[in-house]
Amino acid sequence: MEPVKVDAKKTGAGIRAWPCDDRPREKLLKKGAGALSSSELLAILLRSGVQGVSAIDLARKILDRFGTFRNMSHIDISQWKEIKGLGTAKVAQIMAALEIGRRFREDEARPVQEKISSAGQIVNILMPQMRDLKTELFKVVYLDSGNKIIEIDNTAHGTVNHAVPIIREIIHAALQKFAAAIICVHNHPSANVMPSPEDKKFTHELAAAGKIMNVKLLDHIIIGDGNYYSFADEGLL
């Protein structure tokens, strides 16, 4: 009678007990990252599981809980801690990898020395990192005299409904960076991109302050989930 073969992947055994070609790290090095499933990629970040649960099994639990990497990018730390086997080190590794992915998309969407001529260009750069935020975040894009990006800064974090950027600080930063123009961008967690009365008042006051200091406000863009509002496109600047 032939001995029964046991599939190590189905017994909860550690990944080291798997055939070499099936181990996520070895598979990645041999076939490339594109050949791996989401759970296998996540398992490489986790490096190890816990007693009776392999890194792959732990990765599958995480994906079952949160669904997608995009969902994970805005999960509160308290929800991560609810998953058995996830310590602060593992959570930090996952969050760092997700942030690298966000920054990669931002770099990819911003060709070197591209001249900014439309709201859509800025939206393509910032939408991936701002569309899922649970609180308002206010960013300022600083541009040189040729409308090329000098820098993109976070200016204010707000509550769920309100961010309070400070006009004087924005203009001061623009002068320090020798910026000729700025574009303001903030998100609405409600996904309703229509400007509030406060948004309109702030935009008017910032444009006026910029005019005095020779820093032109080119646009104020409000980002929702997959859509946006541009003050410039609407003829309000």
Same domain, 68 and 150: no
Cα 49 to chain centroid, rounded: 27
Give the residue among 67, 57, 54 at the shortest CA–CA distance from 15. 54
In a domain, 237, yes or no: no
Output the pTM of the full model: 0.63
In a domain, 75, yes or no: yes
Same domain, 98 and 172: no
- The per-residue pLDDT string of the chain (237 residues; one tens digit each, 9 = 90 and over) reads 444 343 445 444 455 556 555 677 888 888 888 888 888 888 888 887 777 778 888 888 888 888 888 788 777 788 888 888 788 888 888 888 888 877 777 666 555 567 899 999 999 989 888 888 888 999 999 999 999 999 999 887 776 566 677 899 999 999 999 999 999 999 998 889 999 999 999 999 999 999 999 999 999 999 998 899 999 999 999
Which letter, b or e, does each residue of 143-167 get, where b requires 16 or more Cβ atoms within 10 Å of its Cβ?
A: beeebebbebeebbebeeeebebee
Q: What is the extent of the structural domain holding 139?
A: 112-230
Give the residue among 173, 172, 203, 208 at the shortest CA–CA distance from 185. 203
The burial of 177, by beta-carbon neighbours within 10 Å (0-12 exposed, 13-18 middle, 19 or more buried), is given as middle
In a domain, 3, yes or no: no
Give the residue among 82, 87, 64 at the shortest CA–CA distance from 56. 64
Among 106, 128, 150, the domain-final residue is 106
Same domain, 93 and 122: no
Q: What is the pLDDT of residue 160?
A: 58
Strand order across the beta sheet in which 228-230 lies: 149-157, 137-143, 181-187, 216-223, 228-230
Same domain, 214 and 131: yes
Same domain, 20 and 54: yes
Q: What is the pLDDT of residue 78?
A: 81
Report the 10 Å Cβ neighbour count for 212.
8
What one-character-per-residue DSSP string does 106-137 give?
HHHHS-TTPBP-SHHHHHHHHHHHHTT-SS-E
Same domain, 101 and 124: no
Instruction: For residue 178, give the CATH number of its domain.
Output: 3.40.140.10
